[in-house]
Amino acid sequence: MTTLAIDGGTPLRQRPYPSWPQWDKREEDALLATLRSGNWWAPPGEQVKALEQEFAAYHQARYGVAVPNGSAALEVCLRAAGVDWGDEVITTPYTFIATANTCLLVGAIPRFVDILPDTWNMNPAQIEALISPRTKAIMPVHLGGEPADMDAILDIAGRHGLLVIEDACQAHGAIWQGRKVGAIGDMGCFSFQASKNITGGEGGMILTNSEEWAEKCWSVHNVGRQRQGAWYQHIKLASNYRLSEWPAAVLRVQLSRLEEQSQKRAENAAYLAEALAEVEGLDPIPGDPRVTRNAYHLFKIRYDPAGFGGRTAREFAEAIRAEGIPISIGYPEPLSRHRVVAERTAFIREKLGLPAEPQPDCPVCAEVCARGLWLAQNALLGTRQDMDDVARAALKIRSAWAGH
């Protein structure tokens, strides 16, 4: 039996997977042109405005408002919608903490439904039980680039008069039943942070088809100004969430590669899913057949310890990384159990004199936290050989730990 790299053996792979971010002379030229333009900030500049239009058009949305990051995008939407102290937002416990934090930062309370085992996205069947007179919005997350069930979510929101704010921070170019995500609900938010499928180092975008929401978000992101108003005319309390020209210039070039890269990720994901069919104990999650295109920010895998001699997902991730495969474990615990979320929720409730209310149990999410694995998007920009190596490394580990 070959010795695993984690035990001092030779790693299966010596070559790295494609690095991220990727850039070429076009980003360099864009940055230099921005430097020489003398316009480094959005109000007099061209880059942010062009990015807003191009990103919105690519996502079949009418309006875009660029902001410094995805967290700010979510916060601006909530503030634009008037979501405030004591309001409730129904969302998913399996997401980056920013989704819940932004609710808490405006004083609202996130309420968590469990996730679906086949997509790891919010389970719409549990939403209605959580709706209360305080509920203002539903915030689905298109986790890892796979669109959430927007049909069911919009139906529920419509019947209860709730807003839908899509957290599409991981889902650039993802398509739900023929429609690009982001402006399927009332507003949608994207992140251009360093790991994302297009990146400006940092950056964020709000999309919407509603002129009213676009104007409100624009005002909130620009210190409460109005588009047609004087510079020192502020009509509401708000902060500065403007993106600068530098990341916008880079992001316009990044956006021009997104379509080709999305196709490559999807092709490699399909190939990898087939390759992993031979590895008992590693199951790519099936996804929702109604999804037209998964953006594959993450390739999501369910790990079964039974296939690997009872070792945990964390142990497996360490072993396969040592073999040169950049698989990692996912979010470590449901946000419904997260200390920071719980403490701030308790603080808000106490301030408002509201009785404590436990979050519902999210057993599917807890299981995914224990057994979920990810392969990040840049690995999916590699070759077929790169995909085969994921399965080969897993089989090597399986043979060492399970003896076959």
Among 167, 186, 245, 323, binds ligand PLP (CB under 6 A): 167
Among 45, 64, 70, 93, binds ligand PLP (CB under 6 A): 70
CB closer to ligand PLP, 169 vs 381 = 169
Q: Does 119 interact with ligand PLP (rule: CB under 6 A)? A: no
Q: How far apart are CA 95 and CA 120, in angstroms?
A: 9
Residues 6 or more apart in contact with residue 384 via CB below 8 angstroms? 268, 271
Q: Does 124 interact with ligand PLP (rule: CB under 6 A)? A: no
Piece in contact with ligand PLP (CB under 6 A), picked from 67-75, 229-237, 287-295, 311-319: 67-75
Quote the distance between the C-alpha of residue 247 and its chain's center: 19
Least distance between ligand PLP and beta carbon 174 (Å): 12
Least distance between ligand PLP and beta carbon 203 (Å): 7
Strand partners, 41: 244
CB closer to ligand PLP, 147 vs 204 = 204
CB closer to ligand PLP, 282 vs 375 = 375
Match 């709730």 to its residue by tokens. Answer: 162
What is the edge-to-edge ordering of all strands in the sheet holding 327-329? Answer: 282-284, 298-303, 372-376, 327-329
CB closer to ligand PLP, 98 vs 255 = 98
Quote the distance between the C-alpha of residue 116 and its chain's center: 16
Please tell me whether residue 293 adopts helix, strand or coil conformation: strand
Of residues 202 through 261, those in contact with ligand PLP by CB under 6 A are 204
Cβ-contact 205, 67 below 8 angstroms: yes
Q: What six digits make up the tokens of 11?
A: 């790693």
Question: What H or E segment, with its residue span, contains residue 224?
Answer: none
Q: Does 197 interact with ligand PLP (rule: CB under 6 A)? A: no
Q: Does 186 interact with ligand PLP (rule: CB under 6 A)? A: no
Whole-angstrom CA distances from 369 to 301, 303, 337, 359 are 11, 10, 12, 17
Least distance between ligand PLP and beta carbon 204 (Å): 5
CB closer to ligand PLP, 42 vs 67 = 67
Q: Does 294 interact with ligand PLP (rule: CB under 6 A)? A: no
Piece in contact with ligand PLP (CB under 6 A), picked from 154-162, 163-171, 231-239, 283-291: 163-171
Q: How far apart are CA 326 and CA 393, in angstroms?
A: 11
DSSP labels for 164-217? EEEE-TT-TT-EETTEETTSSSSEEEEE--TTSSS-SSS-EEEEES-HHHHHHH
Among 169, 205, 251, 329, binds ligand PLP (CB under 6 A): 169
Cβ-contact 402, 308 below 8 angstroms: yes
Q: What six digits make up the tokens of 394?
A: 């897993």
CB closer to ligand PLP, 124 vs 188 = 188
CB closer to ligand PLP, 123 vs 308 = 123
Of residues 86 through 115, those in contact with ligand PLP by CB under 6 A are 95-96, 98-99
Residues near ligand PLP (CB under 6 A), total: 14
Q: How far apart are CA 319 and CA 311, in angstroms?
A: 10
Least distance between ligand PLP and beta carbon 376 (Å): 12
Least distance between ligand PLP and beta carbon 366 (Å): 19
CB closer to ligand PLP, 4 vs 255 = 255
Cβ-contact 218, 42 below 8 angstroms: no
Piece in contact with ligand PLP (CB under 6 A), picked from 164-172, 261-269, 338-346, 370-378: 164-172
Least distance between ligand PLP and beta carbon 196 (Å): 7
Q: Does 185 interact with ligand PLP (rule: CB under 6 A)? A: no
Least distance between ligand PLP and beta carbon 139 (Å): 9
Residue 124, amino acid: P
Burial of 52 (0-12, 13-18, 19+ CB in 10 A): buried
Least distance between ligand PLP and beta carbon 352 (Å): 26
The site for ligand PLP (CB under 6 A) is made up of 69-71, 95-96, 98-99, 141, 167, 169-170, 191, 193, 204
